[in-house]
Amino acid sequence: MRIQQLQYIIKIVETGSMNEAAKQLFITQPSLSNAVRDLENEMGIDIFHRNPKGITLTKDGMEFLSYARQVVEQTDLLLERYKSPGVQRERFSVSAQHYAFVVNAFVSLLKKSDMSQYELFLRETRTWEIIDDVKNFRSEIGVLFLNSYNRDVLTKLLEENNLVSTSLFTANPHIFISKTNPLANRDKVCLEDLEDFPYLSYDQGIHNSFYFSEEIMSTERHKKSIVVSDRATLFNLLIGLDGYTIATGILNSNLNGDNIVSIPLDVDDPIELVYIKHQKANLSKMGERFIDYLLEEVKFNH
């Protein structure tokens, strides 16, 4: 398999035609067809359905295309990084569960670092994808939580993927609710107090195991339950529906406004926030600075 063959596949999909792709690639149509056939034979799959009206991707072809694009994109980044003249851009990527303190640390990294050119990525994403991002070096650092329920499973998964975790801090469980919620003036709440309020949690996609949940006590049954995919929607529903979610208790009014409050939850289930990295990679200088800002953010708000 050659990078050139992957570029051929991508171009064929973009143009929708073997003939047009060959023209844009400045090769003959038979040469392009042979290159695709050789790749299909090597991979042991059919990438395209061929018929008189044209070609379309097979199911295997759609999956193959997603991987091909990743490889070509990463190759382009390598070439740009090491072959392009001039000032090199700083690159850094973090994948994390939906935590405002991670966003704030990322902002501090950007504001307080002397970078004339940069390309930074902050992915608020699902738990499994955080692990996969760090495993495959799409992100240098991942941020997630461990507790008594998920620790054994996630620790085993990290070890299997050559990842190591380092503790950031341990927090007692809190709920996030609107300041207009009937429970907002309580010093503490218990699970029974929450029975009639909508419970909000983050979608984990196809890897929707309780062990990947971003909320503790994910196995508890809730009379009203709403699953969301992003933090903005979750906070809007906290306000609009008097919902609640279970979290670390760390809020930042600069990012979240003053409409959300944090109330201690009366359960004995500490939450340990950790960052993960690949065991075969050392943190970059930017990664080290990000962890410092992360610890500062937690210390200031915790």
The 3-state DSSP class for residue 258 equals coil
- Region label for 162, one of left (φ > 0), alpha (ψ between -120 and 50) or beta (otherwise): left
Each residue's pLDDT, cut to its tens digit, for the chain (302 residues) gives 899 999 999 999 988 888 999 999 999 999 999 999 999 999 999 999 888 777 889 999 989 998 898 888 888 777 766 766 555 667 899 999 999 899 999 999 988 887 777 888 999 999 999 999 999 888 999 999 999 999 999 999 999 999 999 999 999 999 999 999 999 999 999 999 999 999 999 999 888 788 999 998 888 888 999 999 998 899 999 999 999 999 998 876 665 567 899 999 999 999 999 999 999 889 998 999 999 999 988 775 55
CA distance 25 to 156: 46
CA distance 181 to 123: 30
Q: What is the pLDDT of residue 302?
A: 55
Answer for the pair 105, 302: CB distance below 8 angstroms, yes or no. Answer: no
Q: What is the pLDDT of residue 249?
A: 85
Q: What is the pLDDT of residue 26?
A: 92
Residue entry with tokens 């790749």 = 39
Predicted TM-score (pTM) of this structure = 0.73
The 3-state DSSP class for residue 99 equals coil
- Take residue 135 and report the two structure tokens written for it: 């495993």
Q: What is the pLDDT of residue 199?
A: 95
CA distance 75 to 226: 40
| Class of residue 109 by CB neighbours under 10 A (exposed 0-12, middle 13-18, buried 19+) | buried
Residues with Cβ within 8 Å of residue 205, at least 6 apart in sequence: 126, 128, 129
- Take residue 164 and report the two structure tokens written for it: 């190591």
Answer for the pair 265, 173: CB distance below 8 angstroms, yes or no. Answer: yes
CA distance 271 to 101: 15
Q: How far apart are the first and last CA of the chain?
A: 51
